[in-house]
Amino acid sequence: MLNKVLSTPIDNLVEIVKNHNNCKVSYLKNELNVQTIILDRWLVILEEFGIINVSYNGMDGIVNFIQKSSPQDLKKSTEYDVLNVNKIKEDFIKKAKMKKLTDAKIKEIWPRFISTKEDIIKNGFLDLTKKRNYTNEKTNKAWKKYREELYNF
């Protein structure tokens, strides 16, 4: 943590994960001396910002640092991750599994979940097509195809 005036526990968390590949959540909890609920919140936030990746193998999670080469790369990555159908599905499944939902239940509630998020997703999609200078016709065709893929579970 060179050149830092103040170091927060979250900074410490990121540093530990940077220096220890495949870091277990239980290890982080002990190293940082924090409650599980607080650590889980930090991990969710850091994962949503694309700083770390958390995967679960049994009861204990494995945390890895995501290397980004520049703030511009982070912005690009976040734009595409928000619209990446597979990423949306993976995140949904991961959270549903944490709530101990069955595969059948996950498949059943997916369309309702997507319908509640469709406006937000569509706005992000339209912003991206606008940045890419798509014509209205191309945007409509792309949205139709993307939407089909989004609802197909």
Residue-wise pLDDT tens digits, 134-153: 888 888 888 888 899 889 88
Mean pLDDT of 50-76: 71
Q: What is the pLDDT of residue 138?
A: 85
Q: What is the pLDDT of residue 5?
A: 60
Is pLDDT of 41 > 60? yes
Distance separating alpha carbons of residues 118 and 116, to the nearest angstrom: 6
Q: What is the pLDDT of residue 78?
A: 47
Residue-wise pLDDT tens digits, 71-127: 554 444 445 555 788 888 888 888 888 888 899 999 999 999 888 888 888 888 888
Distance separating alpha carbons of residues 79 and 45, to the nearest angstrom: 16
Question: Residues 144, 77: one domain?
Answer: yes
Instruction: Give CA separation, 86 vs 80, 112, 144, in Å.
Output: 11, 17, 17
2 falls within a domain: no
Question: Residues 80, 146: one domain?
Answer: yes
In terms of Cβ atoms closer than 10 Å to its own Cβ (0-12, 13-18, 19+), residue 150 is buried
Question: Residues 52, 90: one domain?
Answer: no
91 falls within a domain: yes
Q: What is the pLDDT of residue 57?
A: 65
Question: Residues 75, 145: one domain?
Answer: yes
Question: Residues 79, 141: one domain?
Answer: yes
Question: Which are the contacts of 85, defined by CB distance < 8 A and separation ≥ 6?
Answer: 146, 149, 150
Residue-wise pLDDT tens digits, 64-86: 888 764 555 444 444 555 578 88
Is pLDDT of 3 > 70? no
Instruction: State which amino acid sits at residue 132.
Output: R
The number of domains in the chain is: 2
* Domain stops at, among 65, 81, 99: 65
Question: Residues 141, 81: one domain?
Answer: yes
Range of the domain at 97: 71-151
